[in-house]
Every structure is written in C-alpha cells, then in structure tokens.
Amino acid sequence: MSPVSPAESDLRSEHAQHPAQYPGHPAYADHSEHADHPEYAEYVGYAEYAPEPQHAEGAPRRHRAHAIDAAPREPGSAGAKGVLLPALIVLVIGSIFVSVYLAAFHAPQPHRLPVAVVGSSQALGQVESALDTAQPGGFDVQGYPDQAGARAALAHRDVYAAYITTGATPELLYAGANGTGVTATVTGAFGAVAKAGGQQLTAQDVLPSSSGDTRGLSVFYAAFGVILAGFMFGTTTYQLAPRLEYRWRMLSLLTFGALGGVMVAVVAGHAFHALPGPFVGIAGVVALMAIAAGGATMALMRLLGPAGVSLSSVVLLILGNASSGGILPADYLPGWLYPLHAILPVGVGVRTIQGLAYFDHDGLAVGITVLTVWVVVCAVVLYLRDVWSVQARRS
C-alpha cells in the first residue's frame, strides 16, 4: 500500500473528530492508494473533499463546503415544474398514441383500394356500380382483359383482389399475405356483388401467408421492435458515451443496425418461419430501418435536447408504426395519416420487407432509396452538430 498523503491525513483527522459531518465510505478506509487523486474522490461522490495539489510542502489545505452545509432550496416554481412537467409530457404522448391508433384502426375502411375485374366492359361497370353503392369510395376498380394479367397484378401488389366474371360462376382471387383484414374486406364486398346477381362466389387464396404467420402481422411486430430498438439506441448512446468521437459513434450505429438486421432475419425468418424471403435482403432492409431510426433519434436529440426524445417517440413509434401498413395496407389509413407511410422509415421498410417476402420485390427500390436518404441526412446533421459546430466554436 502506498504511503498516506498529507491531504488524506488531514481528511482522516477531520473525519475522526467530526464523524457525523463526514459519512463513512470504504474509499477512505480501503483505497488509500487512490484517495489522493481528485478524480477518484469525485467518482465515489466526495468531490467536495478532493485533495488539491500541494504547491509547497506543508501548505494548508483549503476546506471546501460540504453539501450538508448548504441550505435547502425553498420550494417554488422549480418544485412544481419537477412534479408536473414529467406527468404532462407522458400524458400528452400517451394521448397522442391513443388518438392516432384509434383514428386509424377503430373502424378501418378502405379508401380506393385497387381491385381488378376480368370480363366485359358491361361486367366491369356493373361490379363498379355495386361496390360504389355498398361502400362509396372504398374501391378503385380496374379492368383486365384476362385472368393471367390479373394474377400478375395481384402478385406484384398492383391490386389486392381480382374478380373473374368470365366463367360459369364468379371467382375471386386474393392474396392472404396481405393480412386477414384485407381478406375479410374483399371476400365480403365481392361476395355481396355475386349474391346480388343470384350467384355463389368462389374464393381462392393464390398467395397465402407463411405457415408461421397465419394472420399476416409478423412484419408489423418485427418492424415495431426494430424501430423501438433504434429509438432506444439513439437515446442511450449519448447517455452511456457522451464524449465518444463522431466516427466511433457512427461505427456503433452501423454495428447496431447490422446486428439487428441479422437477428430479426434469423428469429422471424428461420426460428418462427414468419418472414419468408432472401435472408440477406431482409437482414439488409431491417438494418437500414434500424440505422435510420437510431440516427433520427440521435439527430433530434442533438438539435432539440430533451424535447427531441419526446418528438422522436411521437414521430417514429406512434405515427411511424401506425402508418406503416403492417396491420392494414396504407389504403385503409385516414387521409391525414396516409402520406406518412411513404416517408417515415418504418412504412417504407414494411412495404419493402413484404415485397421481398411475397410480392416479387414490390417497393424494394423505393424503400432502399428512402431509407438511405434518412441515414445520410441524419449522419450529416450529427456531423454538423458534433464535429463542425465544435470546431467552429474553437476557431
């Protein structure tokens, strides 16, 4: 054990004479070899008595006021703010969550959901009129000359159902991979059309969801988890490593995204068989989603401070997931929420993953482009905030 320093000796003497004023701490009994370092004293919570450098041997040590000597603050507006503000912020965010999800899903109805009709122009007009009467503005009816073209449109998600009128009885082709909500909508609507004509409808699922995703919701839950993880990464990286250099923080973000993409592809795709499709493609898209969400949270925090955390939770976790199309296609969303599905990371990511899994790469090019733009913009914002602005202040 190293010799006791003069500063430590003074501190121990004062501790012995006034034990009530100096709470005991093992740092002063068992770690004397470190006690004469100011950094150590500050680390263990005794910065008030961190030894000062001795410029001359035997120079007296200046006493620093202990926290216990300070008079308590008088209660006032600061106390009320501390009590009310956290509750108000959380209640506002919770109210937004409830309002957005109820507005989107309490009674979802399609808005110009594209469907195909194969048959004569007369049949097309009759079906369109019947659908518009039953549900005004609910469907966008498109005519196709043959069943092959309608099947191709269904496979590329250009339409969500195809009503075939050329046979002895009407037939409905649909993609179960779009989810049970869409299936219920199209079978109910076209079943009513066939019944009105005195016929029995035959329905066929030409593109069912995987055996591990019977309700078609796995992509929503996977995307929700990815965005939540990105949000948590963005909020914790500056807490755990506030002075980390920009390049290393970006490396940490990329590492998080890559590992998150692999994890989701393994768990959802292979462990639960819920997301069919190319492993590398799904892992890559998920990684881009995670990086975009983490980068957006970091950028908002650096621009707005604590308010950025609340804003990112509203934008990414509430508006983003509600408009993602993972529960129901974007064609079911209210008009004010609809545009977000093509802008926010989770919406374009969900469509891209669904395209990779079922719909012949539908939305792949657009999704990668939008997600890449998010990543680049966030990286530039963080560079300007963490590097360029610091250098500018120093110059």
- State percent of the chain over pLDDT 70: 80
Strand ordering across the sheet containing 161-164? 139-144, 113-118, 161-164, 171-174, 202-205
Residue 27 has a pLDDT of: 40
Task: Decide the pairing of beta strands 161-164 and 171-174.
Answer: antiparallel
Q: Which residues of the chain have pLDDT under 70?
A: 1-78
Joined together, the tokens standing for residue 275 give 């997301």
Q: For residues 141 and 124, what is the distance between their CA atoms, to the nearest angstrom?
A: 8
Q: For tokens 């940490």, what's the residue?
A: 252
Residue listed under structure tokens 């989810």: 179
For 385, the token pair is: 């905030």
Amino acid 12: pLDDT = 52
Residue 173 is predicted with a pLDDT of: 97
* Res 39: pLDDT: 41
CA distances from 338 to 93, 111, 190, 227, 322 (A): 20, 10, 25, 19, 10
- Give pTM, 2 decimals: 0.78
Residues β-bridged to residue 140: 114
How much is the pLDDT for 26?
42
Cα–Cα distance for residue pair 262/284, rounded to 1 Å: 8
Task: List the structure tokens of 340.
Answer: 């977000």
pLDDT at 62: 53
DSSP 281: H
